[in-house]
Structures are given as structure tokens and as C-alpha cells.
């Protein structure tokens, strides 16, 4: 599933390639991934220029402006297998459900499982559809995150995965963050001192920034705007490495389930 770093890279690529270009056409072989009808989506977007791309957690919001000051805002959630890309010579397959034309530049939304959504929203920064989502994990301040997380009795891994606490972290980057913070994934935030919680937040932001720098992590479906996979996988310390040697202490990494999610940790480093 694309997490914050993957979505950030897609957003940056969209901005670099398309800001200033107008939507001249929209096709939807499967309009079920649209939040509104194809007709309503075309009416809102065609003729308007992409002015800005905003990300919040795992969501992208594309902000469009038209002549006379008209605006439109398209929120995109890639969910499990969503991809957005433009590639020279690319021939859309059966999994491409929406195609946009930006002044002759084709942009395709591809989604094998059809769980992603492209929804017109009323606001380009914080639409009502995101009322259930917490602050962005990459920019949340310590005081706000502490107020939302420190009292929790659930395992720290489950709290980090809770998008209502802070948005953007998924399974990969939670395991990596907790390893770097030397915190066991089943530890409860309310039992941890502030210094330890500060370290968790610091390491989570560090991991996200590093993953953004390396284009994200690819295991199955994610590819960037131009069809390239991320290469952060080479830097993973624990995720997906259960049973292998810890790169720090040489002990054996263990795999368990926390909050219903597969979890890898080092019993020595994260005791």
C-alpha cells in the first residue's frame, strides 16, 4: 500500500509535470473509482489549469483554477494498489480506470483492486472528507502528537498506524521507526516517558524523509509518476526480514502480529 513517502513523490512529480497545464479531457472506463459521476467530474475539471498539489497523510489534493476565478479540487486516495503515471508510449491496460488529458499529456489512474478513489471536494487544503484524519505525520508538532498519543493504552505500533492520531505512517515505516527508536512494538505509550516518545516521533519523521528521498518502497504495485519503483527497500532494517540477522546487534529478528498487522522487530535492540 502506498504510504506517505510514495504519495509525496507522486505529488511532487505531478506538480513538476502538470502545474500550469489545463485539463482538456477525462475518460473513465470504470467510473466506480470516481466520487462523483464522470459527467460531473468533467464539468468541474475540463478547461481548468492545475495550480497546486497538496498532500495530507496518504491523500493528494489537486487544486485547479479557471478563467474568472473558478476553482475545483480533486482529492486522490491511492489506497492499496492505486497508481498515477504518465509514460511515453504507454498503452492503458484493463486496470486503467481513469485517463486525463492535460493539454496533450495523458495521465492515467491505474488500480488493480479498484479500492482507490478520486473525489471532488470543497476545499483544497482540509476538506470535510478528512475530518476523521489527524495531522500530517511529517509536520505534526510534538505537543499536538503527545496530546493525541501519550495517554493511549494500545500498543505503540497500533497508535502509530492510527490515521486519526497522525496521518501517513503505514506498516513498513512504523516497523522501521520503532526499530530506530529502540522501542518494542507492543509497548504502550502511556508507559513510556516523554524522552522515549520524543524519540519515536523523531525517528518516524526521519524514516519518512529518508524514504521520500529514495522514492519510497516497492514490493508489489507501487511505482512513481513515471513508472519507476522506489528503492528504499534496500535500506529497510527490519520490515520483511523476520528470521534474518539484525544489522545492528547480529541477533535474530522476530516476527509477530500487533494490532492485526505483521510486525518484525529485534528482541535485543527493542527490549
Helix (H, G, I), strand (E, B) or coil at 77: strand
Q: Is there a catalytic annotation at residue 190?
A: no
pLDDT of residue 68: 73
Whole-structure pTM value: 0.90
The domains of the chain, with CATH numbers, are 4-130 (3.20.190.10), 142-265 (1.10.8.50)
Does pLDDT of 186 surpass 90?
A: yes
pLDDT in tens, 93-148: 999 999 999 999 999 999 999 999 999 999 999 999 999 999 999 999 999 999 99
Kindly report, residue by residue over 50-67, the tens digit of the pLDDT.
Answer: 999 999 999 999 999 998
- Measured CA angle at 71 (ends 66, 76), to 5 deg: 115
Candidates 198, 205, 237, 261; catalytic one: 261
At 71-90, the pLDDT tens digits run 999 999 999 899 988 877 77
Q: Say whether 2 is catalytic.
A: yes
Of 183-197, 206-220, 256-270, minimum mean pLDDT range: 206-220
- The full DSSP string for 8-62 is HHHHHHHHHHHTTPBEEEEE-SSGGGBSS-HHHHHHHHTTPEEEEEEEETTEEEE
Catalytic residue among 48, 55, 58, 110: 58
In angstroms, rounded to a whole number, what is the distance separating the alpha carbons of residues 5 and 261?
Answer: 20
Instruction: Establish whether 58 is a catalytic residue.
Output: yes
Contact 169, 6 (CB under 8 A): no
pLDDT at 3: 87
Amino acid at each position: 500500500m502506498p504510504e506517505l513517502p510514495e504519495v509525496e513523490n507522486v505529488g511532487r512529480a505531478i506538480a513538476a509535470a502538470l502545474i500550469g497545464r489545463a485539463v482538456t479531457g477525462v475518460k473513465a472506463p470504470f467510473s466506480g473509482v470516481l466520487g462523483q459521476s464522470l459527467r460531473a467530474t468533467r464539468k468541474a475539471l475540463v478547461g481548468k489549469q492545475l495550480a497546486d498539489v497538496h498532500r495530507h497523510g496518504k491523500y493528494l489534493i489537486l487544486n485547479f483554477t479557471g478563467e474568472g476565478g473558478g476553482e475545483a479540487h480533486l482529492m486522490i486516495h491511492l489506497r492499496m494498489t492505486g497508481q498515477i503515471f504518465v509514460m511515453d508510449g504507454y498503452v492503458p491496460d484493463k486496470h486503467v480506470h481513469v485517463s486525463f488529458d492535460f493539454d496533450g499529456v495523458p495521465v492515467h489512474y491505474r488500480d488493480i483492486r479498484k479500492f482507490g478513489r478520486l473525489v471532488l471536494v470543497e476545499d483544497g487544503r482540509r476538506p470535510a472528507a478528512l475530518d476523521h484524519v489527524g495531522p500530517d505525520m511529517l509536520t505534526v508538532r510534538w505537543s499536538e502528537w503527545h496530546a493525541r498519543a501519550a495517554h493511549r493504552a494500545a500498543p505503540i505500533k497500533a497508535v502509530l498506524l492510527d490515521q486519526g492520531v497522525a496521518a501517513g505512517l503505514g506498516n513498513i515505516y512504523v516497523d522501521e521507526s520503532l526499530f530506530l527508536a529502540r522501542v518494542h512494538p507492543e509497548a504502550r505509550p502511556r508507559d513510556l516517558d516523554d524522552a522515549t516518545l520524543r524519540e519515536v516521533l523523531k525517528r518516524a519523521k526521519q524514516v519518512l524523509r529518508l524514504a521520500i528521498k529514495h522514492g519510497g518502497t516497492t514490493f508489489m504495485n507501487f511505482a512513481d509518476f513515471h513508472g519507476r519503483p522506489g528503492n528504499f527497500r534496500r535500506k529497510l532494517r527490519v520490515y520483511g526480514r523476520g528470521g534474518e540477522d539484525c544489522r545492528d546487534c547480529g541477533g535474530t529478528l522476530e516476527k509477530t502480529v500487533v494490532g492485526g498487522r505483521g510486525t518484525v522487530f529485534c528482541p535485543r535492540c527493542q527490549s
